[in-house]
């Protein structure tokens, strides 16, 4: 009955998801088609190895210990926040710390009722089901999930209309971990069924330096402390980006230099990759430039921005904007997006408030 084979759902293997973003040639491919095999090979498996999100780690340690002592499965959990901050990674850490299997899927892959039913029926007691992009779950799948989450049962309907009967089928007690970049788009009944909701935060430069150092060690790349910091500074507060950059910089170091990454080599390589001191790439700068030069600094709607940049609205909203907002370069207003005075300065323009008019 399971539509997605167990093999594809094991943690550490390739996720099998239907991700419409992958099919869209306009999407920032480096974020969407990021090498999952590489990502999985460097994923931390324990709290000790997992850098950052210290508040979350401390809370989880207590929750996990309590569940182990009670001999009960963990409460359902929802992790939300921008992409690349480690929502899947922390779910994997939870599974290995509990000593249970995790099955990973994504809401767009649960299109038909039998997709979600199959996966729920394949779970064993205590196992974790991870659903990425859970805000994209369709209504039918959501309604199948409610009794599964609440009473560990599936309501199956047999027969038609007046003779229809609902049968309650018990399923093993499992833990659902949902992840989303858009918590606000989750329906209230689904949101309410999670026992814990947690927002993942952007990482500090210090934390990202540690991520870079850890990955460099695993990949046997030589890097100095200053080199790690230079990469960390341009990683937009995001470990996934830090890990991508260390690989790209190391390619430069091997081809152009003697292989050891120091601050100078890191900065030179990132300049060549067109990643600036704030970690902004060509698309981020194009977005700010567009608003400044075509829309007088804003406000302008996100659909207009996406169309002008030939990007997908979701990519703009979920990938570009969170960091631009967090870095204070962009502002969100009820009438649309505006570039902040810092955003103007970052691109070498004078903010309108500092421009002198003749009359
Ligand atoms: N790689 C990606 N995220 C990480 C994290 N939080 N800690 C260690 N390595 C990571």
Active site residue 240: yes
User: Among 228, 286, 237, 297, which Cα is nearest to 260's?
Assistant: 228
Burial of 71 (0-12, 13-18, 19+ CB in 10 A): exposed
Q: For ligand 1, atom 6, which residue shows the shortest CA distance?
A: 51
Please give all residues whose beta carbon lies within 6 A of any atom in ligand 1, as ranges.
42, 44, 49-52, 86, 89, 211, 214, 239, 243
* Ligand 1 midpoint to CA 50 (Å): 5
And the tokens for 254? Answer: 């091997």
User: 90 and 207 in contact (C-beta within 8 Å)?
Assistant: no
Active site residue 357: no
* Ligand 1 midpoint to CA 337 (Å): 31
Look at residue 343 in the predicted model and tell me its pLDDT.
98
Using the atom order of ligand 1, give the atom closest to the CA of residue 52: 6
Q: Which residue among 35, 86, 93 is best mutated to probe the pocket of ligand 1, counting the most ligand atoms within 8 A of its Cβ?
A: 86
**Phi, psi (degrees; rounded to nearest 5) at 215:** -65, -40
Active site residue 59: no
Burial of 248 (0-12, 13-18, 19+ CB in 10 A): middle
Whole-number Å distance between alpha carbons of 76 and 47? 19
Whole-number Å distance between alpha carbons of 14 and 37? 7
Look at residue 8 in the predicted model and tell me its pLDDT.
35
Chain-centre distance for alpha carbon 46: 19
Q: What is the pLDDT of residues 308-336, one digit of tens each?
A: 999 999 999 999 999 999 999 999 999 99
Look at residue 166 in the predicted model and tell me its pLDDT.
86
Look at residue 233 in the predicted model and tell me its pLDDT.
97
3-state SS class at 141: helix
* Ligand 1 midpoint to CA 257 (Å): 27
Q: What is the pLDDT of residues 340-352, one digit of tens each?
A: 999 999 999 999 9
Q: Which residue has the tokens 């999407």?
A: 27
For the segment 59-68, the average pLDDT, to the nearest whole number, is 97
- Residue 168, pLDDT > 80, answer yes
User: 64 and 74 in contact (C-beta within 8 Å)?
Assistant: yes
- In order of 29, 174, 187, 238, the CA distances from 260 in angstroms are 28, 47, 50, 23
- Residue 91, pLDDT > 50, answer yes
More confident residue, 176 or 1: 176
* Ligand 1 midpoint to CA 125 (Å): 28
Active site residue 251: no
Whole-number Å distance between alpha carbons of 359 and 344? 23
Q: What is the pLDDT of residues 275-296, one digit of tens each?
A: 999 999 999 999 999 999 999 9
Active site residue 132: yes
Q: For ligand 1, atom 1, which residue shows the shortest CA distance?
A: 43
């Amino acid at each position: 009955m399971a539509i997605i084979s167990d093999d594809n759902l094991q943690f550490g293997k390739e996720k099998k998801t239907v991700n419409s973003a992958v099919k869209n040639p306009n999407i920032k491919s480096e974020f969407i088609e990021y090498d999952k095999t590489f990502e999985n090979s460097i994923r931390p498996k324990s709290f000790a190895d997992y850098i950052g999100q210290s508040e979350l780690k401390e809370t989880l340690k207590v929750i996990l210990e309590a569940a182990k002592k009670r001999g009960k499965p963990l409460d359902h959990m929802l992790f939300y926040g921008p992409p690349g901050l480690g929502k899947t990674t922390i779910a994997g850490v939870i599974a290995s710390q509990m000593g249970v299997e995790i099955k990973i899927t994504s809401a767009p892959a649960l299109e038909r009722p039998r997709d979600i039913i199959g996966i729920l029926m394949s779970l064993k007691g205590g196992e974790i089901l991870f659903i990425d992009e859970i805000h994209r779950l369709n209504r039918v799948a959501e309604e199948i999930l409610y009794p599964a989450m609440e009473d560990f049962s599936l309501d199956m309907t047999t027969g038609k209309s007046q003779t229809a009967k609902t049968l309650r089928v018990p399923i093993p007690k499992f833990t659902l971990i949902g992840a989303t970049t858009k918590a606000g788009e989750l329906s209230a009944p689904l949101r309410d069924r999670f026992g814990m909701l947690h927002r993942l935060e952007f990482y500090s430069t210090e934390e990202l330096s540690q991520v870079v150092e850890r990955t460099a060690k695993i990949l046997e790349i030589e890097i100095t402390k200053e080199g790690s910091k230079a990469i960390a500074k341009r990683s937009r507060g995001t470990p996934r980006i830090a890990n991508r950059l260390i690989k790209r910089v190391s390619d430069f170091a091997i081809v152009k230099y003697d292989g050891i990454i120091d601050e100078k080599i890191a900065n030179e390589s990132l300049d060549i990759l067109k990643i600036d001191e704030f970690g902004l790439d060509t698309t981020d700068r194009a977005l700010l430039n567009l608003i400044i030069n075509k829309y007088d600094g804003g406000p302008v709607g996100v659909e207009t921005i996406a169309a002008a940049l030939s990007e997908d609205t979701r990519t703009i909203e979920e990938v570009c904007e969170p960091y631009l907002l967090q870095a204070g370069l962009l502002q969100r207003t009820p009438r649309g997006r505006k570039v902040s005075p810092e955003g103007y300065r970052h691109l070498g323009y004078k903010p309108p408030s500092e421009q002198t008019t003749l009359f």
